[in-house]
Structure 1
């Protein structure tokens, strides 16, 4: 799924049009449709990512699903907070989680075995 298709699907999931997204983000009328064949500016891509509360990596990944049904709003908030933390704050947060959860090691295992 290319960038334009992904954005179109995100709009559909929100019940909005591409034109509405452009108006809300201040992107020129018809600009997003052109992204099917050309690359957007980083600034415009950031606007779309912020609007949909997704990462730039998510938008750039052709294999990423548009919606993770298991990701609730509170998880998205925590993910966004983690992405915006300084390295020092991230280390402090990990220490808090380690102290708070008795099963932290089990919770953080990669179950792709």
Structure 2
């Protein structure tokens, strides 16, 4: 069964036994071994996926991506001068972009100094 084999493989990759994973997920030590005979409750599957830092779809064999990402979201560096900054669908004026970049630099500097 894909669920058990993937759970074992990822646990091993993380340096954990199935008992360790179950206990960290708040389940009884041997509960994951029963998944070969009985399907787990969705909340238990989610807890185990969280412990292993993978998606439930990965454990179930629905995807080969351990951590599915949303294609809707993009990561863009605000400090990149080539990034087009916009608000409410309208491009931000260049002088305002520079003010935002200055503020971003200030925040980064504060975090580096430990002043969150």
Moved over 6 A (4+): none
TM-score with structure 1 setting the length: 0.56
What is the rounded CA distance, in whole Å, between the counterparts of 1:100 and 1:53 in structure 2?
31
Structure 2, unpaired ranges of 5+: 85-116
TM-score with structure 2 setting the length: 0.55
How many residues in Structure 1 have an aligned counterpart in Structure 2?
A: 80
State the 1:49 CA deviation: 1.2
Structure 1, unpaired ranges of 5+: 67-75, 84-89, 102-113
Superposition RMSD in Å: 3.3
Q: Which residue of 1 aligns with 2:46?
A: 46
Work out which structure has the larger RCO, using CA pairs closer than 8 Å and 6 or more positions apart in sequence. 1
- Give the conservation status (yes or no) of the 8 Å contact 2:57–2:63: no
- Give the conservation status (yes or no) of the 8 Å contact 2:49–2:56: yes
Q: Which has the higher helix share?
A: 1
Deviations 1:76-108 (A, max 9, x none): 6x93xx49xxxxxx4xx45x69x839xxxxxxx
Q: Where does 1:13-92 land on structure 2 (aligned, <5 Å)?
A: 13-61=13-61, 64=64, 79=69, 82=70, 90=72
SS in 2 for 1:39: coil
State the 1:44 CA deviation: 0.3
